[in-house]
Amino acid sequence: MDLQKQPEPRAAAAPVAELRASDADRDRIADILREALAEGRLNADEHAERVEGVLNAKTVGELEVFIQDLPAAHQRRAAAAYTPAPNRPAAGEIPPVADENVVAVFSQATRRGRWRPGRRVHAYAIFGSVEIDLSEAVFEYQQVVIKAVSVFGDVQVRVPENVSLRGTGGGVLGNFEVVTLDSPESEAPVVYVDGWAVLGNVEARPKRGKLVADILDRVQSKVDKHLRKHM
């Protein structure tokens, strides 16, 4: 073992502009364009051309091009700088004891619908399957940790498109896959998935078309408060 060998530096996170755009990102830009049309800043042809470009855009940076000459884009930048969610929750932020255990041994267990996840949820699939669906959940905490352990089983985690998703774990003759997701909103919940897949499968990804509605309410409240302050 070479004690002098230094660990290779970790690759830097991709800039926000290079992140893949979600349907929520496209909807946000389309809303800005619709308001610009109503205000007379864009004519019908310009609006139609830009909307078509929004539908074909692949990254967040490509989307921003279509609103860079509109006031709404600059107001959004001035309101809050984007800060990516950390890869791990802050030390001591999440208690070590689970608020809820979801266990499937030679069976199936599911959590879905309008449920309230705690700060820590443990999911164990032993020759069984567990589904943790947060797409309609009520988030009482901004940070939620899901520890997923699969032994000859399957754990599926689904989240709304407008939250941040992080994962740390691995597979032993199995598959551990977490699709990294970054929300553009600082108020958005962050879901951390960690654990192991031993001859099994752990998978976490966004659920297409699902959004956390109360994030939009909180953001609108901040905007209204800012406007009242300057009236």
Contacts of 85 (CB under 8 A, 6+ apart): 164, 166, 182, 183, 190
Cβ atoms of residues 183 and 163 within 8 Å? yes
168-185 pLDDT per residue, tens:
999 999 999 999 988 878
Nearest to 103 by CA among 125, 121, 132: 125
Helices 23-39 and 71-79, axial angle in degrees (round to 10)? 130
188-215 pLDDT per residue, tens:
899 999 999 999 999 999 988 777 765 5
What is the model's pLDDT at position 16? 59
Gyration radius (Cα) of the chain, Å: 21
Q: In this structure, what are the phi and psi dihedrals at residue 10, rounded to the nearest 5 degrees? A: -75, 145
pLDDT tier, 72 (very low <50, low <70, confident <90, very high otherwise):
confident
pTM of the model: 0.59
Sign of CA dihedral 141, 128, 161, 19: positive
CB count within 10 Å of CB 99 equals 16
